[in-house]
Amino acid sequence: MHSVFRFVIFGFLFLYGAFLPQGIALAASESELSQHDLEFIEKMPLRKKIGQLFLFGFQGNSLKEGLDKTLEELSPGGLLVFGRNLQSAQQISGLISGAQALSVKNSGLPLLVATDQEGGDVIRIKTAMPLPSALALGKANREDVTETAGYATGKLLKTLGFNMNLAPVLDIADPNQKMFIGTRAYGGEPALAAKMGIRFSEGLINAG
């Protein structure tokens, strides 16, 4: 049971880390948690502790299509937004805002709200001028351009209420070979993928 509790605590640490101000270190062990944090976790029912370790997808594009019940009954740590959940900027912003309010009311914690906004072919939020794919950025081999792409992506997501992007993809893929990963990889060289992935991530972080 203690090992399960430890796992739950690290799940909370991960969730808290997403909302910490930049520059504040994330606690690395139970001993570094504040007394307030420990008391908060202790008082939370086991069902809610478990729910906080999950990131759920959902159907529909409004709270009343079942998402409200999921948040109330399962207390998930986060939501994963797909294209099926998106109608417009105003709709998704309102949905995320409503979900956050319900989560805080129910569990006392905000949600991680994630999506796949990679650029190229894999984008959930369509823009009039799509951002380039990872492969295009890799071929250009311009770190400044890659960071700018990450920053623009982050600004878009933050404006709509997202706080987590499931990107960049760091797979290694030969662009001259047919592979399922397609244009989602920066290229076939580990050093290139690392360099570009870091810069894209820095752009996301700088966008908040």
Confidence of residue 77 (pLDDT cuts 50, 70, 90): very high
Confidence category of residue 30, pLDDT binned at 50, 70, 90: low
Helix (H) or strand (E) holding 56: strand 55-56
In angstroms, how far is the first alpha carbon of the chain from the final one? 37
Q: Taking 90 as the threshold, does the pLDDT of residue 19 lie above it?
A: no
What lies within 8 Å, CB to CB, of 58 at 6+ separation is 65, 66, 67, 70, 79, 85
Rounded Cα gap, residues 208 and 195, in angstroms: 20
- Quote the pLDDT of residue 9: 42
Closest by Cα among 142, 141, 167 to 153: 167
Mean residue pLDDT of the chain comes to 86
The lowest-confidence range among 7-21, 58-72, 186-200 is: 7-21
Q: Specify the pairing of strand 117-119 against strand 122-123.
A: antiparallel
Please give the average per-residue pLDDT across 175-189, as a whole number. Answer: 90
Task: Name the percent of the chain lying above pLDDT 70.
Answer: 85
pLDDT category, 124, cuts 50, 70, 90? Answer: very high
